[in-house]
Amino acid sequence: MFKKVLIANRGEIALRIHRACKEMGIQTVAIHSTADSNAMHVRMADESVCIGPPPAATSYLLMPAIIAACEITGAEAIHPGYGFLSENAKFVQICEDHGLTFIGPSSEHIRLMGDKITAKETMRTLGVPCVPGSDGAVPTLEEARRIAGEIGYPVIVKATAGGGGRGMKLARSEADIDGAFQTARAEAKAAFGNDEVYLEKYLGAPRHIEVQIFGDGKGKAVHLGERDCSLQRRHQKVMEEAPSPAIDARTRVRIGRICADAVAKIGYAGAGTIEFLYEKGEFYFIEMNTRLQVEHPVTEAIYDVDLVQEQIRVAAGLPMSFSQADLEPSGHAIECRINAERLPQFQPSPGRVDTYYAPGGLGVRMDSAIYGGYVIPPYYDSLIGKLIVHARTRPLALARLRRALSELVVDGVDTTTPLFDALLDEPDIQKGDYNIHWLEKWLAEER
Amino acid sequence: MSKRPQESDIEFIKALAELLRANDLTEIEVNRDYGDDDGLTVRVARQGTVVAVPTHAPAPVAAAPAPAASPAPVPGPAMPVDPADDPGVVPSPMVGTVYLQPEPDAPPFVRVGDQVSEGQTILIVEAMKTMNQIAAPRAGRVKRILVADGQPVEFGAPLLILE
């Protein structure tokens, strides 16, 4: 097992990783920018290294600084968390070259899943259901018209190098395809320096269902059921739950097995998530995230596992601590992402937290790195905490969530907490009857 | 050479330790500037037992023959104790390991008292097996060197003082 792990991240996830390390008897090294000198992960870690000025590009994304921090502290492994360098194949390669263990999959698997077209081709070959569409890039407008006709409208034009909703254009009918194709290409060129686009069938009102998988890197893999992350705003997840209100046990086992088998076949190592759109009983692969997800705690709650400790185990060459037979979900878990944002416009609200009180009690978990007197810097994303509740049933989990939200105090900055109070009053949320468009529509009506 | 005999330093530290005990404190840190290139940094801390960690700034060597070894090193892996809010401080532009000379047996890039010109290499910070030559941000005289050869530094750590 590693003696010392460097945590190449900040905020709540850095603290989350620190906690996993300490329970395993591992020393931790925090890295931080000058803006994060007083951050909780820096205060808690056994050692800390300031690696650069506030902008992420010159600190948390600066590979030589992170490798140098390992060298001067003697850390043997790097946990990247999510975001930043967590899905950067080049960084993984550099770690490997410097004799450092990257706690995550191989650079080869990250590269394979990082490109949307090769990811989809690979998944299709591995038996994972995919959205019908062009098999690969569509170079010309004529080709786009022909393929759109074959798969049937509506279709969506997406940038190969895209993400976060940029470089995506919808064509509802034949009349829209020329404009959608040309705009998507231009946007892709501007945003990613690469104008390659592809076509997919557009689903009207799907849910976002993702399957948590875990591989040992030696050909064994398991699934830990699904998470429903349909409640999104601008392609950002807002609230997640597991299990999905729309998936029954048989469907869970079916799609779970398909995913576990697929990653087992490629010898995938560590935690990963296969994301699907789900409509009318069918799953359509969107992408695979080759890292820990923000919303991993809902899975941890219902399966009673520690995914970060498991990542560290597998990276250290140990076998997984569970097999598929050990993994039976229990109860229901919901996560709310608490962002430092001002409603109703969701403007970032950095600044000083005067008072912070975290909710507690049975089945309540608050993952956050803020504290009273902490100053939220303006340089990074606005997630300041995740409130996760777990209870025997979905109605009990909703009641517990309402109770926990009423206890949470964050004074001094605006947060998205009131959004969740309001959502819990909605009959659709209470029934679990929502899709990926529900939240945007509801927000537009509320306004 | 030293303007202060060793004994007085010991007396001083003893006095600090006594102060610590008398006032039930856990830590005292003192930075003293004796002259151009001479100073003393003392941190006295206790956790049940009293530990004294004296740190001498490099002894004045301007007139002395070049010492083969690097100046008295700052202790261990700990980052330099808050030296200079001196306006002349040159901070490290990156995290890494400091080297004061271009190669192990070569003379150092600069010595205390040297006049350096803007852009002149003052030391090396190694990161990821790359030797990054750190240039003087401005012309001036080297008042103090705050790091030892082979010492790890963070981003922003004070390297030396130019005046």
Query: How confident is the model over B8-16, as a mean pLDDT?
Result: 79
Position B78 scores a pLDDT of 46
Give pLDDT, residue A335: 98
Amino acid at B88: G
A30 — contact with chain B (CB < 8 Å)? no
pLDDT higher than 80, residue A312: yes
Q: How far, in Å, are A210, A244, A280, A335, A346 from residue A227 at the CA level?
A: 5, 6, 17, 10, 24
How many Å apart are CA A21 and CA A7, to the nearest integer?
A: 10
Of B44, B60, B76, which residue sits at a domain end? B60
Residue-wise pLDDT for A240-276, tens only, equals: 999 999 999 999 999 999 999 999 999 999 999 999 9
The answer to whether residue B126 sits within a structural domain is: yes
What share of chain B in percent tops pLDDT 90? 41
Q: How far apart are CA A199 and CA A194, in angstroms?
A: 16
Cis amide bond preceding A344, omega within 30: yes
Residues B119 and B160 in one domain: yes
In tens, the pLDDT along A279-294 reads 989 999 999 999 999 9
Q: DSSP secondary structure string, A111-149?
A: HHHHSHHHHHHHHHHTT--B--B-SS---SHHHHHHHHH
Give the tens place of pLDDT for each residue, A355-386: 999 999 999 999 999 999 999 999 999 999 99
| B47 and B116 together in one domain | no
Whether A229 has a pLDDT exceeding 90, the answer reads yes
Residues B112 and B159 in one domain: yes
Name the most confidently modeled range: A14-28, A189-203, B43-57.
A14-28
Lowest mean pLDDT among A130-134, A322-326, B66-70: B66-70
Q: In the prediction, which pLDDT does B6 show?
A: 66
Name, in order, each residue with C-beta under 8 angstroms of A436's C-beta and a sequence gap of 6 or more: A205, A206, A207, A208, A230, A232, A277
> DSSP code of A3?
S
Q: How far, in Å, CA of A99 to CA of A108, rounded?
A: 17
- Nearest CB neighbour to A72, from listed B129, B130, B152: B152
Mean pLDDT of all residues in A325-348:
96
- Give every strand in the sheet of A364-368, ordered side by side: A282-289, A269-279, A207-216, A221-233, A236-242, A332-339, A383-391, A364-368
Element housing B62 (H / E):
none
3-state secondary structure of A374: coil
Any residues with CB less than 8 A from the CB of B124 and at least 6 apart, and which? B98, B99, B100, B102, B109, B131, B132, B133, B134
Architecture of the structural domain at A207-446: 2-Layer Sandwich (3.30)
Our CA-based measurement puts residue B66 at a distance from the nearest CA of chain A, in whole angstroms, of 28
**Closest chain A CA to residue B96:** A68
Average pLDDT over every residue of A405-427: 97
The answer on B160 and B99 residing in a single domain is yes
Q: How many residues does chain A have?
A: 447
Among A131-145, A158-172, A303-317, the least confident range: A158-172
Q: Which domain holds residue B163?
A: 86-163
B36 lies in a domain? yes
| Residue A193 pLDDT | 84
Is residue A146 part of the annotated active site? The answer reads no
Q: Which among B56, B121, B128, B59 has a CA at the least distance from the CA of B90?
A: B121
Same domain (yes/no): B35, B94:
no
pLDDT of residue A248: 96
Least confident of A138-147, A158-167, B80-89: B80-89
Q: What is the pLDDT of residues A47-64, one digit of tens each?
A: 999 999 999 999 999 999
Tell me whether residue B80 is in a domain: no
Q: How far apart are CA A54 and CA A73, in angstroms?
A: 22
Which class is domain A132-201? alpha beta
Query: What pLDDT, on a 0 to 100 scale, did the predictor assign at position B86?
Result: 85
* Reported confidence tier of residue A328, pLDDT bands at 50, 70, 90: very high
Does B158 fall in a domain? yes
Q: Is the pLDDT of residue B75 over 50?
A: no
pTM: 0.80
Residue with tokens 């946007």: A187
Q: How far is A420 from chain B (nearest CA, A)?
A: 40
The pLDDT, as a whole number, for residue B63 is 38
| Closest to B144 (Cα-Cα) out of B33, B12, B51, B5 | B33
Q: For A405, what's the count of Cα atoms within 13 Å in the CB-facing half-sphere?
A: 22
- Among B26, B60, B94, the domain-final residue is B60
Higher-pLDDT residue of A257 and B62 is: A257
Measure CA B137 to chain center. 19
Does B72 fall in a domain? no
Helices (H) and strands (E) in chain A, counts: 15, 22
A4-103 CATH: 3.40.50.20
Contact (CB, 8 A) for A3 and A77: no
pLDDT digits (tens, 9 = 90+) for A71-121: 999 999 999 999 999 999 999 999 999 999 999 999 999 999 999 889 989
Residue A73: phi and psi, rounded to 5, are: -105, -15
Q: Are residues B161 and B97 in the same domain?
A: yes
**Quick one: average pLDDT of B62-85?**
46
In sign, the C-alpha dihedral spanning B84, B85, B90, B96 is positive
**Res A165: pLDDT:** 65
Domain ranges of chain A: 4-103, 132-201, 207-446
**Do B97 and B56 have their domain in common?**
no
Q: Looking at the structure, do residues B139 and B95 belong to the same domain, yes or no? A: yes
> Is A132-201 in the same CATH topology as A4-103?
no
Q: What is the mean pLDDT of residues B35-60?
A: 56
In sequence order, the β-bridge partners of residue A248 are none
Mutation target vs B (from A37, A46, A72, A91; most B CBs, 10 A cutoff): A72
pLDDT at A175: 92
Assess whether pLDDT exceeds 60 at residue A219. Answer: yes
Is B128–A72 a contact, with Cβ atoms under 8 angstroms apart? no
How high does pLDDT run on average in chain A?
95
Q: Is there a contact between B95 and A53 if contact means CB atoms under 8 Å apart? A: no
Query: How far, in Å, CA of A308 to CA of A328, rounded?
Result: 19
Q: CB-CB: which of B128, B153, B155 is closest to A52?
A: B155
Mapped onto helix, strand or coil, the DSSP state of residue A404 is: helix
Angle at A343 between CA A32 and CA A226, to 5 degrees: 70
Q: How many CB atoms lie within 10 A of CB A30?
A: 29
Distance from CA of A95 to the nearest CA of B (A): 10
In DSSP terms, A239 is beta-bridged to A231, A336
- How many C-beta atoms surround the C-beta of residue B40 within 10 A? 18
Q: What are phi and psi of B46, to 5 degrees?
A: -140, 145
From A10, A185, A252, A291, active-site residue: A291
pLDDT of residue A172: 93
Is it the case that residue B51 has pLDDT exceeding 70?
no
* CA–centroid distance for A138 within its chain: 28
Mean pLDDT, rounded, for A148-170: 84
